[in-house]
Amino acid sequence: MFSDFGINDVKISESPADFGFQKSDALINVADLSLVSRRAINALHFIASENATKGIWDVDLGYFKWLANFAGSRNDKHLRLALRESQKAAIQVSVIDSADSSKDIYASVPMLGTFVMAGGRLNFKLPEEIARLLQAPTDASYLSLRIGGAFTSAYAYSLYERLLRVREKGETGWMSVDAVKDWFKVASKKSLQEYKFLKRDVLKAAIDQINELSDIFVILEEKREMRRVTMVNFVVQRNPTFASRSSPLETELQKLYQTLSEEFGLSTSDFDEIMSRREVYTNRRIEQVIELVRHRRVKQDIKRPSAYFMKMLREGVMLSLTEKETVQRSEKKVVDEVKHQEKLTLQFEAGNQQQADFLRLGNEIWTALDPEQRNELWQTYTRSLPGKTTLRKAKFSADMPIDEALENAVVRDGFFATLMSTAKQKKRA
């Protein structure tokens, strides 16, 4: 893509196809980065993620600048300052032992090690801890470099990366205003200590840009105490306007990438192999292998789905006719069971409605009678064979008070049935 677009001054934010990498949540907890530095460090981590065990990476400077959305600018001094800032930024981990302060742990790992810019090339190193997170990201979220390149606000980019972590959950949950300030490291900025200014200059501006440019839509909720905002909650939804800007082909590729990355755990080198042989590894072929691996995972223990997927893809294996018939029979069984349960549910609901109508009509007839009529009908019922049988089942005597007897569902249903039958006979007469 860089060969096609970069040399023609097409920015990464304008690329017709999306791409990115799985960024560990641990790498997101860094707030002291400018917009250019954040783009730069994400571009470096994207490059390194292709081969995280390499140790030293060497790339074309123009390619790096394109990934960092720095293309078209000859101000390499500004870029060097951004990389120096990335060296100063660090992941900080603090573990406090409430019982014994001597057991407290504090760790600080720089985001970038040594870098050299010379002869149109960029050579750089990453700390071992960072490389390990790129090699096997834990609690990671997919970060799009194209979307990141579109942001013009460091606050928006920083907030976007944090909210990717709760995309599936749908919200951050209520958190204090001070915790949000810590996200953006604004404790030293006096102008942002009041919430109304923090909201106006940081939160609202960032949210507006995220909603305009990214694939998520954010809503800010507030909780007040004594007319003062003390807690906030970020609600995260899918952005429908962003999806409408994607082509059908891109949407299909994104779905395939998400499946292969999240469900099967394919590595960057696996994706490189697939993309290098797209004339063979078509979308249809990939979908067939996905179907195959999903089916066989149910039947057998596949410890490394990514390796098994790539093996089946290379060997051209597809789901056999016998396996397909087994799948179809299994799916038909599931569908039939669902239909059966739906039928039972409908029958149950219909029975409940019929019972409700029955009780309503019985009560209407019963309440319309005067006490003498009620007593006469009850005595007639208790002397009848159906009445005697019903009372015997309920273990009631014939002289039991009417109201107490009708509290029993069996007795009530039997008596109401007689009432309605008598009412129908009178109506016909």
| Rounded CA separation 126/130 (Å) | 6
Which class for 343: exposed (0-12), middle (13-18), buried (19 or more C-beta within 10 A)?
exposed
C-alpha separations of 86 from 25, 58, 124 in Å: 17, 18, 12
* Sign for the pseudo-dihedral over CA of 180, 182, 185, 190: positive
Per-residue pLDDT of the chain (429 residues; tens, 9 = 90+): 666 555 556 678 877 777 788 888 888 877 678 899 999 999 999 999 888 888 899 998 888 988 898 865 566 888 889 899 988 888 776 555 566 667 667 678 888 999 999 888 999 999 888 888 888 777 788 899 989 999 999 999 999 999 998 988 999 999 999 999 988 888 778 888 889 999 999 999 999 999 999 999 999 999 999 889 999 999 999 998 876 555 555 567 777 888 888 888 888 788 888 877 877 888 888 988 998 888 888 878 888 889 999 999 998 887 776 666 665 666 666 677 777 677 766 666 665 677 777 777 878 887 888 888 888 888 888 888 878 888 888 788 877 788 778 888 877 888 887 777 776 666 676
Predicted TM-score of the model (pTM): 0.56
Other C-beta atoms lying within 10 Å of the C-beta of residue 126 = 27
Look at residue 202 in the predicted model and tell me its pLDDT: 92
Look at residue 162 in the predicted model and tell me its pLDDT: 92
Q: Which two tokens stand for residue 220?
A: 């800010």
| Rounded CA separation 289/295 (Å) | 10
Look at residue 205 in the predicted model and tell me its pLDDT: 93
Look at residue 319 in the predicted model and tell me its pLDDT: 72
Q: Give the orientation angle of helix 154-163 with respect to helix 204-213, to 10 degrees.
A: 70
Q: What is residue 239's three-state secondary structure?
A: coil
Look at residue 96 in the predicted model and tell me its pLDDT: 58
